[in-house]
Copies of this chain bind each other. A is one copy, B any other.
Amino acid sequence: MPKLERQRLHDTVVEHIRNFIVEGVLAPGMKLNEREICETLGISRTPLREALKVLAAEGLIDIEPNRGASVSKLSETEIWEMFELLSGLEALSGELACERITPTEIADIKALHYAMITCREKNDLSNYYRYNQEIHDRINEAARNSALRQTYTSLNRRIKALRFRSNFDVAKWDKAIQEHEEMLKALDARDGKRLAEILRDHLIEKREAIMKGSIDHPVA
């Protein structure tokens, strides 16, 4: 029998609001009025408030005592730091993936890679992004580490919620693709150190492309 997973209201609410935040329907800084959301979703405040607590724990919203919740708005420094952590997680993913990925998975990633290149040729930025993210995701999955997977996913959501439109110039785009080619080579050779290095630099460059470098970040 198709065991129909009875799912709890507050869980579906978490997913619902989380998607709204990650997809940009709810922008950073936006106030979340409990009554308003309750009416929209047709639920009472109890499950909603439980959902808000979860989203706050995930770092997607901020809750101020007696003043309600709002979509997290991060400082440039925090964003900078999140990219730094993300680059570390990707590097770790890559290193582990080289040990554990199957030839089939490598082939799948190559297919995604070529699909991505096609998007570049068509100047289809939107789908390019999707394929790009999918490739990074596959590498993370290939690391075969659920804790790493969860942490990576969670951090990625927080970053995605910021809705960067990276000021892309063609040169950077082509460089990014070149780096992806290098990734595939490293994967094929199962050169973990090399893949880690590429992924790390790749992410840092993405960060630089997004953030104009006008902020002060920690240096020695």
Contacts and interface: CB of A to CB of B under 8 A. Distances in A.
A15 to B, nearest CB: 13
Of A65, A81, A151, chain B has the most CB atoms within 10 Å of the CB of A81
Interface stretch (A53-61, A166-174, A176-184, A203-211): A53-61
Contacts of A8: 65
Contacts of A81: 144-148
Contacts of A10: 53
A199 interface: no
Interface of A: 6-8, 10, 46, 49-51, 53-54, 56-59, 65-66, 78, 81-82, 84-85, 88-89, 92, 96, 99-100, 144-148, 150-151, 155, 190, 218-220
Nearest to A217: B144
A162 to B, nearest CB: 13
Interface centre among A7, A88, A99, A220 (most CB of B within 10 A): A88
A217 to B, nearest CB: 9
A159 B23 CA distance: 33
Contact of A218 (B50, B100, B219): B100
Contact of A147 (B82, B99, B190): B82
Nearest to A155: B147
A183 to B, nearest CB: 18
B85 A147 contact: yes
A8 B219 CA distance: 37
A195 to B, nearest CB: 14
A132 to B, nearest CB: 22
A99 to B, nearest CB: 5
B85 A151 contact: yes
B92 A220 contact: no
Nearest to A86: B147
B46 A148 contact: no
